[in-house]
Amino acid sequence: MSDGSPSRGEEYALACEVSAAITSSLVLEDVMATVARRIAEALDVWECDLYEYYPASETMIATACWARARTPEDVAWIGTRVDVRECPAYRDMFRDQAFCEAYASEESDPVDDALMRKWGEQAVISFPLVFEGSAIGCLELVEKREVRRFDEADKRLIALLAAPAAVAIHNARVYRLWEEENRHLASLLDSSRALSSTLDLDDLLALVCRTAAGALETALCVIYEYDRRHDAIVCRALYEVAPTEEAGARPGMSWLLDDYPSVRVVLNGGRIVEESIRGPRLAEDVRASMEEWGAKSWLSVPVSFNDEPVGMLVLMETERERRFSAKEIDLARGLAEQAAAAMHRARLYRREQSQNDRLRALLESSRVLAGSLDVTKVLDELRAGAAGLFGAQRVDVDVALSGDDGRYLPLAAVLAEAADGEGGTDEQGPDVPLDELSARVMKRREPGQESTGDLCRVVVPLVLQGEAQGFVDVRLKGGHELGRDEMGLLQILAGQTAAAIVNARLYNTIERQAITDGLTGLYNHRHFYERLNQEFARAQRYGLPLSLLMIDIDDFKHFNDLYGHPVGDLVLAEVGRILSGQLRRGVDQAARYGGEEFVVLLPNTCRDGAQVVGDRLVQQIAALTRAAAGVVPEGEEDARSVGERIRQRIAGAQIPGIRDGSEPHVSVSVGVAAYPGAAGGPAELVRNADKALYVAKRLGKNRVEVFDA
C-alpha cells in the first residue's frame, strides 16, 4: 500500500461506511455521488466517476462525478452515453472483468490517449462493477495533478469498494424499475379512466399519445388510423415533447400503403418492430421517414382490435439511439391496445351517431314524401333524402317506371302522361335503357351497387302494389360503397318513394276525374271556364290572339233514336278522341260543353287559323259514319285515327242492331269566334262562338262559320 493509504482495518471501515451510504437512499444519483466522493477521498485522487453499463446495447452512461474542483464540463458529462464498441479498453475490461489502466506519456490506445489529453488527465484506472457475475457498471479514478501509479493496495481497496457500489447500482435499478412499473401502471390507469370518460376519438388518441411519450420517455409519439377503403394510414394524433415546425405529419394527413410497404408489414403482421437509424437492414421507406422526423430510434406498434388492424402507434427518440426494454415494449403494447379500444369505441359511437342522423333524415324524408302529391317534389325530396343519408358531395337520383309497352320511362314522363287526359300522339319521350346493373336488379328484385373511382352507383327496385314496376338509380359522388345497413335505409327510402308515387298517381287520377268528362275524356264545363278566364287574361295582358270553337254534332237526337244511346255514346267518345288528336298538345284545350256540344280553346291563334282548324275537324268527324258505330273492314284494327285516313281506310259494314241496308251518318257544325275582335270578355267570346254555330246550323249544317261583328 502506498504512503497515506488506509490500513486493512481502515479499508473495512471505509467499506462499511460506503455500504451504509448505500442504504441511506434509493436514488441512484444520490448514492453514486456519496460513493464517488468517499472513494476519491480514501484514495486521494483528483476525481472519481461512476458509470452504469447496459450489455444489450454495449453502452455506458455517466451516473456520478466527484472532483476536487468540479468544472461545468464535469457537470455536463453526467448522463453522457459512451459506446463501448468504440472504446476497446472498456470493452476488454467488461469482458475480462479486470482493471483497465492508462497513463500519460506512455504508449496507450489512441482513443484513450485522445480522451486523456482532452480532459487533462495524467492517470486513469477503471474497474468493472459486477453483481451476481454480470457487469452492471464501472468505477473510474482519475488523477490530473501528476502521473500516479496505482499499486496493489490501491487496487485491493478499489475492488473492495466496487462491491458495495455495484450493490448500489443494482438496488437503485430495482427501485427505478419498480418506479417505472408504477408509472406505467399509472399511465395505463389514467388512459383507462379517460377512455371511460369521453367518446371523442381525437381527445382519446391525443391522451394515449401524450401518455405513451411520457411513460416511455420518447420525444415523439404518433398514432395512425388505417383507412381500409383507400388502403392508407391517416395521422390521427401527434404529441411532441418539444414541438417543431419540421414535424413529418399533422393530424388529417394520409399516406398510401403502396408507398410504405414496411407499414403494411407492421399492420398485417401484428408484431412490434424496433429500428435504429444505423441499423444495417433498415428498409428504405423507414429510413426516409426517420430522416424526415429526425428520429434516431423508432418503435412501431400495431394497433388491432379482434385481430383486425385498425392503426399503428409509433414512438420516436430524436436525441440518441436507444433500445427499448421488454417492459417498455409491453407498456407500448398495452397503450396500443387502449388506442385500439378507443378507435373501436369511437367508431361504434360514430356509427351509432351516423345511424341516428340517418334515421332522423329518413324520418323527415318519409314525412315529406308522405305529404307530397307533386312529382317534382317527390324527386327533389328523394335526392335530398339520399344526400342526407350518405353525406356524399353530390347525389344524382333518377326514377324509372315501366310503361304499358314494357319500356322504362322517367317518373315525371309516366306521371305526366297519366295526368294528361287529352290523348294526343303516342310519343312518350325517350325511354330509360336497362344496363347490366339495372337489368340484374330488376331480374332479382334485389338492390345492387357498383363503384368506379369516387363514384358509387346504387340501383334499388321500386315495388309498387307488390310488383317491381321500376327502379331508383342513385349515384353518389365522393361517397363510399354502401354497407348492409346503409343499403337497408336506401330501400326504406325507396319504399317511401313508391308510396309517394302511388299517392301522386291517385291524386292525379282524382284531380283528373274532378275536371274531366267521364265519357269523352275531355275537360268538363267547369274546368273549361277556368282555363278560358286564364287564357283570356293572358291574351289581354300580352296582346295575343285567342280563338274559340263551338262544336255541335248534327241531328244527334235523331241518331240516338235511330241507333240507340250506346252507339251515341260511342260517337261522343270518338269525337272527343279526334278533337284531342287534332290539337296542339299542352297548348290547345278541348272540353265537352254539354250534351253533344264541344268547345275548343286555341291560345295564340288568330281567327283565320281557327277557321282552318274548324274545317279540318268537320272533315275528320264526318268520317265517323262507320267508325263510330263500330264498323271495321276485314283485316284492319278498330278505327283510332282521325282525318282523311279514317275515310280512306274504313269500308262499309253493318252496325249491330241496325236494320239491313241503312248507314249511320255523323256530321258536326262549328262556330268560330276570336279575340281581339268584338269580344270584350270571356263570356262574350263564348256567346259569339255560339252565334256563329247557330249560323252554321241555319245554313245547312256540316260546316264552319266565323263570327263577324
Output helix, strand, coil percentages for the chain, rounded to the nearest 5: 50, 20, 30
Task: Kindly state the percentage of the chain with pLDDT values over 70.
Answer: 70
Name the residue with higher pLDDT: 409 or 91.
Answer: 91
Full DSSP string of 550-601: EEEETTHHHHHHHH-HHHHHHHHHHHHHHHHHTS-TTT-EEEEEETTEEEEE
Q: Return d(Cα 590, Cα 214) in angstroms, integer.
A: 87
Cβ atoms of 603 and 556 closer than 8 Å: no
Q: What is the spatial distance between Cα 203 and Cα 191, in angstroms, rounded to a whole number?
A: 11
Range with the lowest mean pLDDT among 181-195, 386-400, 463-477? 181-195
pLDDT at 326 over 80: yes
pLDDT of res. 6: 56
Residue 78 neighbours by CB under 8 Å, 6+ apart:
62, 63, 64, 65
- For cell 352507383, name the residue: 457
The dihedral formed by the CA atoms of 555, 559, 561 and 565, expressed in degrees to the nearest 10:
-120
Rounded to an integer, what distance in angstroms lies between the CA atom of residue 397 and that of residue 498? 14
For residue 183, what are the CA distances in angstroms to 197, 214, 335, 451? 21, 9, 13, 50
Taking alpha carbons only, the member of 511, 685, 683, 498 closest to residue 610 is: 685
Mean pLDDT of the region 662-691? 80
The sheet carrying 408-410 orders its strands as 408-410, 394-402, 467-477, 455-464, 448-452
Number of alpha carbons in the 13 Å side-chain half-sphere of residue 668:
29
Cell representation of residue 595: 250534351
All domains of the chain in start order, with CATH: 8-177 (3.30.450.40), 198-350 (3.30.450.40), 372-514 (3.30.450.40), 516-706 (3.30.70.270)
Separate counts of helices (H) and strands (E) for the chain: 21, 22
> 260: pLDDT confidence band, cut at 50, 70 and 90?
very high
CA distances from 537 to 211, 356, 544, 546, 681 (A): 79, 52, 10, 10, 9
- Which pLDDT tens digit goes with each residue over 107-144? 666 777 777 888 888 889 999 999 888 888 999 999 98
The tens digit of pLDDT for each residue in 327-360 reads 888 888 888 887 787 777 777 776 676 666 666 6
Query: So what's the pLDDT on residue 241?
Result: 85
pLDDT for 451 equals 80
Query: In whole angstroms, what is the distance from residue 156 CA to residue 477 CA?
Result: 83
Confidence (pLDDT) at 702: 77
Please report the pLDDT score of residue 657 as a whole number.
Answer: 37
Under the banding of pLDDT at 50, 70 and 90, the label for residue 438 is confident
Closest CA to 297 of 274, 280, 281, 313: 274
Q: Are strands 408-410 and 394-402 parallel, antiparallel or unpaired?
A: antiparallel
Q: Which residues contact 286 (CB under 8 A, 6 or more apart)?
A: 262, 275, 298
Query: Minimal CA–CA distance to 165: which of 45, 55, 54, 17?
Result: 17
Say how many C-beta atoms besides its own lie within 10 A of residue 548's C-beta: 29
CA-based nearest residue to 573, from 498, 501, 639: 639
Contact 221, 212 (CB under 8 A): yes
**pLDDT higher than 60, residue 698:** yes
- How confident is residue 421, by pLDDT bands cut at 50, 70 and 90? very low
- Per residue, what are the HEC states of 446-485? CCEEEEECCEEEEEEEEEECCEEEEEEEEEEECCCCCCHH
Mean pLDDT confidence for 624-636: 41
pLDDT confidence of residue 197: 54
Q: What is the DSSP string of 306-374?
A: TTEEEEEEEEEE-SS-----HHHHHHHHHHHHHHHHHHHHHHHHHHHHHHHHHHHHHHHHHHHHHH---
- pLDDT tens profile 216-240: 888 899 999 898 878 899 998 898 8
Residue 57 vs residue 247, higher pLDDT: 57
**pLDDT given for residue 312 in this prediction:** 92
| Nearest Cα to Cα of residue 237 among 499, 228, 245, 247 | 247
Q: Rounded to an integer, what distance in angstroms lies between the CA atom of residue 10 and that of residue 12?
A: 5
Q: Please compute the mean of the pLDDT values over residues 602-615 and round it to a whole number.
A: 66
Residue 516 DSSP symbol: B
Residue type present at position 6: P
Averaging pLDDT over each range in 86-100, 134-148, 406-420, 508-522, which range is the top one? Answer: 134-148
Instruction: Extract the C-alpha cell encoding 310.
Output: 385498425
